[in-house]
A and B are shown apart, each in its own frame.
Chain A
Amino acid sequence: MIKIGPVRRRGLLVAGVMFAGAGLATGLRPSRLMSDTLGVPRLEDVFPVAFGGWRVDTSLPVILPAPDVQAQLDKLYNEVLARTYVNADGVRVMLSVAYGGDQSDATSAHRPEVCYPAQGFAITENFADTVRVAGRDIPVRRLMSHIGGRHEPITYWIVVGDRIVTTGIGQKLAQMRFGLRNIIADGLLMRVSTIDADMAHGHLVQSAFLAELGSALDDRIAARVLGACPESAAGSGHAC
């Protein structure tokens, strides 16, 4: 017969709380991959090679990332697309899209203000902005970077599940919002950049490029690239 004194009774209570915590953690773990239900988008196919005034620039040699960078990319993303588009005036815009099916901790999309400096770039400007794409304002992050004499303005956003995020915390919160509903969110990083010492001009070119690109995407993929309509805008009759 085991004697249960007050100390042991407290022990049972404490152990109960701890075992419950362990059970809760297992139970709350999301198990359904969003990418399994929606499918992994074939980035090569869903982004048109020519739209509006832009077409893929085939005159430039494709620059492959260094092997160590490539290894890191393969680990983080299921699909990566890197293209350079050019318009009739010879303006070039680099588009880079990365898709990852599992946005849980170790494999979530890397924000450019983190990975550009890792490649030796210095980030001199970093601010929030919006770009009008397909009839609505997409919240984006604008950066200015340079390495040596190469100046590269950048515009980017990240979609976690169906939400656009532009901060690290936002990314984590969006991932948790899905996670607590048993869904492992997927993520998509959209980044455009130009070589331009004039930051404002570069960002303007990028906005124009994104507006044309957005209207050239088909609806299904647009929802994943631009995020779902925010609830407030959905009822207001906007083209969304």
Chain B
Amino acid sequence: MSKLSEPVGPAAQARRLPILPAGTDVMLLGLMLAAFAAMYGPSYVMLAQKIWPTDEQGHGPIILGVALYLLFGKRHALAALPSRPDKPMGFALLIIGVTLYALGRSQFILFFEVFSQIFVLAALVLLFSGRQGLRLVWFPLFFLLFMVPLPGSLVASVTGPLKSAVSAVAANLLHHLGYPVGRAGVLLSVGPYQLLVADACAGLNSMFTLEALGLLYMNLMNYTHAVRNVVLALLIIPIAFAANIVRVIILVLVTYHFGDEAGQGFIHGFAGMVLFMVGLVLMLFTDRLLGLFFRGHNQRGSATTGSAS
């Protein structure tokens, strides 16, 4: 919505599409926004205060922003669709969403609470536009999945083995390069130093964030070949794994050559950046390779790129 505050000259304004599509029922829209705010306003306050400031969920507001931006960009296309509400499906989703929300919000099950908004939003689209509308905005709604905090026990049970595997591969590689590296579980020792591969470094979250970026990339590129998209989405998992290994290796090398403080200071954050750069480069490279295999099936879809945004 930040677009609103930009100072725009009258000439530029004329070329822009109006903020609300023509014929919008402002009163109805206001009522829906108020109802949505009554449910999720407190949730977002809590997310902003307690969840987003943590290392694991720092990507939350970005995911939300991207989803809102994509939804906002589709508003005219959505309004232009003929309204064919799917009431049974819509109300069913609404009830499921509201129940999940009430249970999650009251019993502190963050996963239910945040996840439920996807159901509620999908229900609203079905009830006021229809299936075609849902087909139009499915991606931003699906994208919201990435801001759902996973249950702690699930994260822990996946992170543990992941951390061990990342540490093992990193230690092996460094060992073959001739470094004095030892490993006990997730505890790496290099020369006089000991490094504990911490949860935040381990990669479930980085895997999630990279996956989100990958899906966003495919969406923006307007890839339509389903198999290609699924293959790329699956390949992002080993890519994120590899990027995590690179990150751990960088930290070990920095610690070994420049000491403990360098490893824990600025470089620690920097290694996080490297992780994403390595991940993104590998992803783009993989995408090019897939492009060779799927050539002919999959054009950029340039005919359909003329969306309202």
Contacts and interface: CB of A to CB of B under 8 A. Distances in A.
10 contacts: A18-B120, A20-B98, A28-B102, A28-B107, A114-B153, A114-B157, A120-B184, A121-B185, A147-B185, A180-B107
A2 B94 contact: no
A117 B106 contact: no
A19 B35 contact: yes
A71 interface: no
Contact of B35 (A18, A121, A175, A180): A18
A117 to B, nearest CB: 5
Contacts of A176: 107, 109
A8 B29 CA distance: 10
B-side interface size class: 35 or more
A172 B127 contact: no
B117 to A, nearest CB: 11
B128 interface: yes
A24 B102 contact: yes
Contacts of A20: 98
Interface string A10-52: 1110110111111011111110000000000000000000000
Interface of A: 2, 7-8, 10-12, 14-15, 17-22, 24-30, 104-106, 111, 114, 117-122, 147-148, 168-169, 172, 175-176, 179-180
Nearest to A12: B31
A117 B160 CA distance: 7
Contacts of B284: none
B34 interface: yes
Interface in B169-191: 184-187
B98 A28 contact: no
A8 B109 contact: no
B78 to A, nearest CB: 15
